[in-house]
Chains A and B, each alone.
Chain A
Amino acid sequence: MTLLALLAPGCAIYCPVYATSGCVEVAKLDGLGAQGRHEALIGYLDDERSWVREEAAKALGRHHVRAAQPALRARLNDGSERRYVRAEAARALGRLGARDTTSDLRAAARADAAPELKLAVLEALCTMDPAGPDTQATVQGLVTDEDVLVASAAKHRQGTGCGS
């Protein structure tokens, strides 16, 4: 390995030693989306590192990769997944307009769910189906959430027509 390779951004020696998926940077994930390399990007939803899964979900939503819907849904519905990965999966489904996942989203925002997941579900449902029954029920249910941010976001959504 030449000195030049050692000095290359991303520390090419270190990353493969640490992770089997190899060296990943946030910009690389978004780049895959921009380049249309959707399959590779979807593959990162199974990466062993939670931050990679999170960033992959973000990129999939940002680049409207519809083919990612089943994988994103799986992440959302996986109760053992990190809350922040589930949250980004929810947001991404909202950006994809995945209306057939509204019941999954509503179920994910149950009372004991993490606040950030509830917030992401609110955002997703209001983006893709503001007048739908799952959206209305979710917004109504979260208006009295004990988390201040969740309750205020739900009230705002209710007041602005998402869930009314």
Chain B
Amino acid sequence: MVLLLGLAAGCATAPTHMYDLMDAEGDEAVADALESAAAVLTDRGARAATREAAARTLGRLRSDAPAAISALQLGLAADQAPGLRRQSAWALGELRSPAALPVLTAALRSPLDDETGAYLLEAVAKHYPVMAGDEETLVRVVEAMVFYAGNRQGAPAAMYDLLGARTRTVAVNVRVLSNALQTLSSANTAGNRAAVYNATLELLEKVASKTGEIRAGPAAWSARVEAAMRAARAAHDADPEGTGLLVLWYLGQLASEQELAGPAGQVLAGDDVPEAARPTRSPRAAQRLVAAWALARLQAHALGPRRALLLDVLSDELEPKVMQVLADLPVRAGEVDAVQRVLGITGRIAPATPGAATVRGEGHR
């Protein structure tokens, strides 16, 4: 009899019995099914196949009761077998519940093989409607994703970029960068500097990707653009030799967009930037070189860059390579060059005629 009961109990926890629980209907039956599946999933002595079946069943039952969430959380833990972790990640994704999302984002910070990571990212992606309107949650998700990407070899699964495109709004990227800067200020490590660099790059890339929308609706975007530029400037100041050069180069690249160039010029060399803080006053030649290039491009849309170039570069710069940057900037036919623009020479250049002076501007400003 004991043997029979033991065998019956063993049968009752076969994988197919777990699957049978999927058809539970009605609150009471679902609760019972959930309890059975959770009990099997959390039984570390149960067969792997049965535990995976239990996880699959919990995903199919789609109940976000605390017992289900905590059982799946255990299944997802770093010390569990990969098959169980993946099935648990999938099941948590199926719940599409605010209660499941924190478990998933926490797991992104645990050791993960490539395939389990991919399952996790998909599960997080299924929760997009849950997080979409909540900036705080989006920031937490993005930071977990960044941690995941930064702590693995090679590129993450394709879902990483897809999810990033949806979650990393300009506002979220500003918050993520601000948090990274705070962390850097308390511990200036290579890892934290890398985090700031990555967060800055993500922010500037996102801003660049939105130029069409910004152009179409500058008033609606102005606050976000200014916040982005201020955050980029802060990143520049926190790590001048690394992220700082990235910021200068990228803002120079964005110079063709008036709605971006104005705020960019302001944060780099505007009225409220002290002289010593202007990048053209940096003790590092590399900084001054990239700054000169960027400000020369930005000067068309803001006065600050032009003033900085006049006072810092044309008047005081001793490094020939920095001066050369201004001279080497491309010039459109008939237009004044960057140096002339700094000096306030405006207008168009008359076309050259044989035997005559080849340059005639229309005057100084």
- Is there an interface contact between A50 and B23, defined as CB atoms closer than 8 Å? yes
By Cβ-Cβ distance, the 7 closest A-B pairs, closest first, are: A11-B11, A14-B11, A51-B19, A148-B125, A148-B128, A152-B162, A50-B23
User: CB-CB < 8 A to B7: which residues of A?
Assistant: 6-7, 11, 13
Q: How far is the CA of A84 from the CA of B125 in the complex (A)?
A: 19
Q: Does A146 contact B (CB under 8 A)?
A: yes
Q: Does A39 contact B (CB under 8 A)?
A: no
- Considering the complex, give the chain A residue whose CB is closest to the CB of B19: A51
Contacting A at CB under 8 A, from B9-46, are 10-12, 14, 16-17, 19-20, 22-23
- Considering the complex, give the chain B residue whose CB is closest to the CB of A11: B11
Binding site for B on A (CB under 8 A): 3, 6-7, 10-11, 13-15, 18-19, 24-26, 48-51, 82, 84, 115, 146-149, 152
Contact string against A for B residues 54-83, beta-carbon threshold 8 Å, 1 for contact and 0 otherwise: 000000100000000000000000000000
Q: How far is the CA of A149 from the CA of B94 in the complex (A)?
A: 12
Partner of A146, one of B23, B122, B129, B159: B129
- Considering the complex, give the chain A residue whose CB is closest to the CB of B125: A148
User: CB-CB < 8 A to B159: which residues of A?
Assistant: 152
Partner of B20, one of A10, A49, A146, A147: A49
User: CB-CB < 8 A to B122: which residues of A?
Assistant: 149
Q: Does B47 contact A (CB under 8 A)?
A: no
Minimal beta-carbon separation of A54 from chain B (angstroms): 9
- Is there an interface contact between B20 and A149, defined as CB atoms closer than 8 Å? no
Binding site for A on B (CB under 8 A): 3-4, 7-8, 10-12, 14, 16-17, 19-20, 22-23, 60, 122, 125-126, 128-129, 159, 162-163, 166
Q: How far is the CA of A13 from the CA of B3 in the complex (A)?
A: 13
- Considering the complex, give the chain A residue whose CB is closest to the CB of B20: A49
- With A146-B129, A147-B126, A148-B128 as contacts: A50 and B22 at CB distance below 8 Å: yes
Minimal beta-carbon separation of B293 from chain A (angstroms): 36
Given contacts A13-B8, A148-B126, could you give 7 more A-B pairs where the C-beta distance is less than 8 Å? A6-B7, A10-B14, A24-B16, A50-B23, A51-B19, A148-B163, A152-B162
Q: How far is the CA of A137 from the CA of B8 in the complex (A)?
A: 52
Q: How far is the CA of A48 from the CA of B11 in the complex (A)?
A: 19
User: CB-CB < 8 A to A26: which residues of B?
Assistant: 16
User: CB-CB < 8 A to B128: which residues of A?
Assistant: 146-148
User: CB-CB < 8 A to A25: which residues of B?
Assistant: 16
User: CB-CB < 8 A to B125: which residues of A?
Assistant: 148-149
Minimal beta-carbon separation of B315 from chain A (angstroms): 53
Q: List the count of A-B residue pairs having beta carbons below 8 Å apart.
A: 57
User: CB-CB < 8 A to A6: which residues of B?
Assistant: 3-4, 7
Chain B binding site: helix, strand, loop or mixed by DSSP? Answer: helix
Q: How far is the CA of A84 from the CA of B90 in the complex (A)?
A: 14
Q: How far is the CA of A148 from the CA of B12 in the complex (A)?
A: 38
Q: How far is the CA of A4 from the CA of B159 in the complex (A)?
A: 50
- Considering the complex, give the chain A residue whose CB is closest to the CB of B14: A11
Partner of B166, one of A3, A14, A15, A148: A148
User: CB-CB < 8 A to B23: which residues of A?
Assistant: 48-50
- Is there an interface contact between A14 and B126, defined as CB atoms closer than 8 Å? no
- With A147-B128, A148-B126, A149-B126 as contacts: A14 and B20 at CB distance below 8 Å: no
Q: Which of B3, B23, B122 has the most CB of A within 10 A?
A: B23
User: CB-CB < 8 A to B126: which residues of A?
Assistant: 115, 147-149
Partner of B12, one of A14, A49, A82, A149: A14
User: CB-CB < 8 A to A149: which residues of B?
Assistant: 122, 125-126
User: CB-CB < 8 A to A51: which residues of B?
Assistant: 16, 19-20, 22
Q: How far is the CA of A15 from the CA of B125 in the complex (A)?
A: 38
User: CB-CB < 8 A to B14: which residues of A?
Assistant: 10-11, 14
User: CB-CB < 8 A to B19: which residues of A?
Assistant: 49, 51
- Is there an interface contact between A11 and B60, defined as CB atoms closer than 8 Å? no
- Considering the complex, give the chain A residue whose CB is closest to the CB of B4: A6
Minimal beta-carbon separation of A131 from chain B (angstroms): 25
Partner of B8, one of A3, A7, A14: A14
- Is there an interface contact between B16 and A13, defined as CB atoms closer than 8 Å? no
Minimal beta-carbon separation of A20 from chain B (angstroms): 13
Q: Which of A11, A49, A146 has the most CB of B within 10 A?
A: A11
- Is there an interface contact between A18 and B20, defined as CB atoms closer than 8 Å? yes
Minimal beta-carbon separation of B188 from chain A (angstroms): 36
User: CB-CB < 8 A to A7: which residues of B?
Assistant: 7
- Is there an interface contact between B20 and A84, defined as CB atoms closer than 8 Å? no
